[in-house]
Amino acid sequence: MRQFFTIAKNTFMELVRQPIFLLLMTVSCAFEVFLSCVYYFGFGDEPKLVKNSVLAVMFLTGLFGAVVSASSAVAREIRGGTALAVLAKPVGRARFLLAKYFGLAGALTVLVYANAIAALFASRMAFDAYGGIDYPALGIFAAGVVGAYAVACVCNFFLRRPFRAYGVLSLVVLLSL
């Protein structure tokens, strides 16, 4: 069982450290919040249009993230020979693939969580037919994203920690706060 959790944890960390993961998380969250700032001619149904658009972005982001992350995780393992080394140990193929799956599911859970936080910001910012954009919420979201990248830069420069992993971690934490 320890081998299962080790493979799953390593898969999770490998996926979170990819640059495409941080880019996908940041761009999808920013685009969801941007959707709530656009003026629609919805005749009073702007919050519903924002909700449907945000859910579509979340679906496409999760789908794209799953495809890119899963294909790169397995391909990198096979190309590097790590999969053969792990399978030579007393770890079966089913356990190896299931651990890879759980690591991928954990990474996608982090991606969906960040998108859900951005969806909450977007739903708060969605204006009605007579209102405007909620600028304080937009400022809080922008400060969270900029602060997350600043924390990742400081950790990378001074502490020599990986930028992408700390960027994902700080983005999730600061958007949650």
pLDDT tens digits, one per residue of 25-45: 999 999 998 888 777 666 667
- Read off the tokens for 71: 């294909």
Q: Is the pLDDT of residue 11 over 90?
A: no
Percent of the chain with pLDDT over 90: 34
State how far Cα 30 lies from the chain centre: 12
CA dist 166 and 175 (Å) reads 14
| CA pair distance 101, 55, nearest whole angstrom | 24
| Banded model confidence at residue 102, pLDDT cuts 50, 70, 90 | very high
C-alpha to C-alpha distance for 148 and 162, rounded to whole angstroms: 14
**Rounded to the nearest 5°, which phi and psi values hold at 145?**
-70, -45
Dist. CA 59–CA 63, nearest whole Å = 6
Phi, psi for 155 (deg, rounded to 5): -65, -35
* pLDDT confidence of residue 144: 93
